[in-house]
Amino acid sequence: MDLISAKNISKSYKTKKILDNISFDIGSGQVLSIVGNSGSGKSTILKILSGIIDDFDGNIYLNNKNITKIDMKERKFILMFQDDELFPHMTIFDNIAFGLKINRLDKGYISKEVEKYLELVGLYDHKNKYPSQLSGGEKQRVSLARSLIVKPKMLLLDEPFTALDQTLRENLRNETFKIIKEQNIPTLFVSHDINEAVEVADKLAILSNGKFLAYDNPRKIFENPKNIEAAKFIFKDNIIENKLIKKSDVEILEGEDYIIVDKVYKGDYFTYTLSGNYKLLVDSPKEFFVNDNVGVQINSIIELEE
């Protein structure tokens, strides 16, 4: 069973911090989804793990062996991009075979392996075609087969389904992760889409400005976000800004007649149950008072999804 560990990964460009002390673990067959907006550092993590970027602080381990200085070819962390990156002058068969051919393996072995992976991704009947003759989804299947055939120690997915229409995107995503689970490959999947990320994740990380706002089981993060920034990212479509909550709006817990907020610090947030399907996140309250209209001025209310 393979275990991939990244410890205290940091990366700067000149004076700008791109990644700041990032750590995570991914076991065999596990999927870690990292979600974040453009510029959050997602692609930099992928490039560091794959070996494209080798100038960074921190360490990468495979089964507790430090592989930080091992080159890309030996590391075998395979990166699958948004674009299919296929060779247009090669047939589908030769595109998939490429990674084996450059290692000068036996031709009979290569042919057998390519046919196996063509069957796996449902493209056996297309093996003599060229990339220009395939649809977008079929090209991504070729990319997947080409990535898997070299027996990667880890698979790195850089939003590979983004360019596809919604139905094809969902179908191909489901097929891809089914194969990944069957092949028992540790996988890092990056996306800007929180719903897509959660759909496939064993672990979820929310990345913002080079730092993890959250890193845990997806259900735990959704049920109990550890900070207001993570909560806002998760429930960004359900935010009601700048509202005064009064006693009459709140289901008082444990028989209390009022809410007491004690020792409020900048960046703190507090959680209360509101009538209806709401959670009240108090982010550095501007005002709190106890009288006939007990309330607190807050920055946001997050409506929880069913």
The answer as to whether 235 is a domain residue is no
Residue 136 sits in the same domain as residue 178: yes
Residue 57 sits in the same domain as residue 101: yes
Residue 20 sits in the same domain as residue 131: yes
* One-letter amino acid of 154: M
Structure tokens at 190: 């990056």
Residue 87 sits in the same domain as residue 147: yes
Last residue of a domain, one of 229, 263, 282: 229
For residues 245-273, average pLDDT:
40
Of 134, 138, 100, 105, the closest CA to residue 121 belongs to: 138
pLDDT score for 239: 56
pLDDT in tens, 101-134: 887 788 899 999 999 989 888 899 999 999 999 9
Q: What angle do CA 202, 206, 207 make, to 5 degrees?
A: 130
Contact yes or no for 37/208 (Cβ under 8 A): yes
Residue 222 sits in the same domain as residue 287: no
For residues 68-92, average pLDDT:
86
Its sign, for the CA torsion 66, 68, 69, 75, is: positive
Of 69, 47, 72, 74, the closest CA to residue 59 belongs to: 69
pLDDT score for 300: 47
The answer as to whether 236 is a domain residue is no
For residues 190-204, average pLDDT:
91
User: Which range has the worst mean pLDDT, 118-127, 143-152, 186-195, 254-263?
Assistant: 254-263
pLDDT in tens, 37-72: 888 899 999 999 999 999 999 999 999 999 999 888
The answer as to whether 123 is a domain residue is yes
Last residue of a domain, one of 229, 257, 279: 229
For residues 183-209, average pLDDT:
92
Residue 224 sits in the same domain as residue 250: no
The answer as to whether 195 is a domain residue is yes
Model confidence at 138: pLDDT above 60: yes
Residue 198 sits in the same domain as residue 277: no
pLDDT in tens, 233-246: 887 765 555 444 44
Model confidence at 217: pLDDT above 90: yes
Q: Which domain holds residue 15?
A: 4-229
Which is more confident, 139 or 169?
A: 139
Those residues whose C-beta lies under 8 Å from the C-beta of residue 277, and which sit 6 or more positions away, are 303, 304, 306
The answer as to whether 305 is a domain residue is no
Last residue of a domain, one of 168, 199, 229: 229
Its sign, for the CA torsion 98, 102, 105, 106, is: positive
The answer as to whether 234 is a domain residue is no
* One-letter amino acid of 171: N
Structure tokens at 178: 């089914």
Q: Confidence class of residue 154 from pLDDT cuts 50, 70 and 90?
A: very high
Give the count of domains, the chain: 2
Residue 82 sits in the same domain as residue 202: yes
Residue 113 sits in the same domain as residue 251: no
The answer as to whether 288 is a domain residue is yes
Model confidence at 155: pLDDT above 80: yes
Q: What is the dihedral of CA 250, 252, 258, 263, to 10 degrees?
A: -90
Residue 151 sits in the same domain as residue 265: no
The answer as to whether 237 is a domain residue is no
Residue 150 sits in the same domain as residue 266: no
pLDDT score for 81: 76
Q: DSSP letter at 305?
A: P
User: Which range has the worst mean pLDDT, 35-39, 89-93, 100-104, 192-196?
Assistant: 100-104
Residue 198 sits in the same domain as residue 102: yes
> Which CATH number characterizes residue 38's domain?
3.40.50.300
